[in-house]
Amino acid sequence: MKKIVRSALALLLAADVMLAAPGLLGRNAEAAGTPPFSAETSVSGDTARVSLRTSAAMEYASLEVKLSGGLPAGIALAGVADGADVGDFGASESATIGETNGFYAILNEYETVSVPEGKELAVFTFDISAAPGGTYEITFVFSAAADIHGSPYAWQKGTVTAEITKEPGGSGGVLPEAWPIGFTVTGKGTAELGKRSAYAGEKVTLTAEPEDGFKTEVSVTGPDGAVSVTADGAAYSFVMPDGPVAVSVVFSGPEEPYTDVPETAWYYGDVYAARDLGLMEGIGNGLFAPGNTLTVAEAVTLASRARSIYLRDGEAFVRHDEWYRAYGEYAMESGIIAEEPADWSAPASRSFCAALFVAAMPEEALKEINRVEDGAIPDVADDAAVYVLYRAGVMVGDAAHRFHPDDAIMRCEIAAVVNRLLRPETRLRVELRVSEQDGETPVVRPPDGEITDPVIPPIVPNGD
């Protein structure tokens, strides 16, 4: 049994709730009316589905929503997904759900987008199995801005309340589980996926437009392996299996070689591997600039991207005015960094990068393949992160295995690091132990046998 309830909007009175919505970076302005939204609720058994829609035509550059206050006892949030109509109204910058600090960003545009009446923008799914029969209210807080670059912003703030009614005994059947859809894009082109979760048997469609000279490859991997994909021009569709899937869009083409990366360079393969993974690009004019150093912002970005690729978490990295901001937020939320760096533009040292990547990767991704005794690295006595990377074969220092912890890391070096992190077959073998004679001088011993690769899940390349 389904019950459809439309609710009316009420003006948000608690203005302090919305003083610093993510995506708008802390600029405040006064409310300018109430955004026109409504909620439709369908209940089946122990699952409730709340569809948030436009109740009138609107024009906004930014639109975010969050749950207001706690949920009623016995009700738990089971999932949040794009509405069926997201992406159908010209949104280009962020037409997908992205959660930050409790807010779910539906739009984050650089210009105003027109959205017609009746469009489904987001779907919240709730587990009501622990709730007794009755009617419950759940309130959503909206924050909308017509111009995110104006000063002040033309804010609109409001709430919409959805009623969920559970029949005594929970009769009416149970909805199937909505499975998550991971989505990654690599290469030169634009791809959009209209939803980030779907029920088993549901048709899922995405669009992918390559740049001139490039071709599109779309693959979908489910719990039982590859899922069949049907192509119709720039539209690709598949039937959702009974389980989560990872969707990968790769735009490949005739990439030009870098004129400043000779084939004889030790980092030659790493540079092109980092490009293939969608993690690093050249600086233009056919140059990679292997000797240039990285900034803190660039290092944090690479650590965040590497973690997202490894975990296949489908992080969208919604763009802000400051290009690195989404990566910094992800890094802080994931525990890669404990606090925001004082200077994002400062050079990133090799020791700083070692700490970043050890914090970014799960323990199983950095399994020990090398014997490196404590104190055996010539210029590093006790930096735990450096020793983890030496033992995992990700970083092994110079020819004498000195690490140079305070040196700024170069682009060629970081390309090698991210390649070895995500492609364990490229990791390096070394044995370093402390000399028995004086207890201090490191002795380098060649490795015996072949590299035994750690067991790491298949990599699904990510991209913007």
Q: Are residues 227 and 246 in the same domain?
A: yes
- Is residue 335 exposed (0-12), middle (13-18) or buried (19+ Cβ within 10 Å)? exposed
Note whether residue 464 is domain-resident.
no
- Tell me whether residue 50 is in a domain: yes
Looking at the fold, whether 355 and 410 belong to one and the same domain comes out as: yes
Residues 40 and 113 in one domain: yes
For residue 209, the domain's CATH number is 2.60.40
Check whether residue 426 and residue 296 sit in a common domain.
yes
pLDDT at 453: 33
Residue 322: inside a domain, yes or no? yes
Q: What is the pLDDT of residues 59-84, one digit of tens each?
A: 776 777 878 767 777 788 888 877 66
Q: Are 277 and 259 spatial neighbours (Cβ–Cβ below 8 Å)?
A: no
Residue 252, number of CB atoms within 10 A of its CB: 15
Closest by Cα among 428, 353, 433, 350 to 394: 428
Please tell me which of 195-209, 233-247, 304-318 the model is most confident about, judged by mean pLDDT: 233-247
In this structure, the answer to whether residues 37 and 75 fall within a common structural domain is yes
| Structural domain containing residue 196 | 178-252
Q: How many domains does the chain have?
A: 3
User: Among the three residues 151, 170, 189, which one is the final residue of a domain in this structure?
Assistant: 170
The pLDDT tens digits of the residues spanning 121-155 come to 788 888 888 877 767 788 888 877 765 444 444 55
pLDDT digits (tens, 9 = 90+) for 340-370: 999 999 999 999 999 999 999 999 999 999 9
In a domain, 204, yes or no: yes
Say if 461 falls within a structural domain.
no
Q: Are residues 369 and 341 in the same domain?
A: yes
Q: Are residue 221 and residue 328 in the same domain, yes or no?
A: no
Beta-bridge partner residues of 126? 48, 77
Query: Residues near 213 by Cβ (< 8 Å), separated by ≥ 6?
Result: 253, 254
Same domain? For 191 and 296 the reply is no
The answer to whether residue 46 is domain-embedded is yes
Is the pLDDT assigned to residue 161 strictly greater than 90?
Answer: no
Residues 441 and 404 in one domain: yes
pTM metric for this prediction: 0.48
Q: Count, in order, helices (H) and strands (E) of the chain.
A: 6, 22
Q: Write the CA distances from 330 to 310, 316, 323, 334, 338, integer angstroms.
A: 14, 10, 13, 6, 11
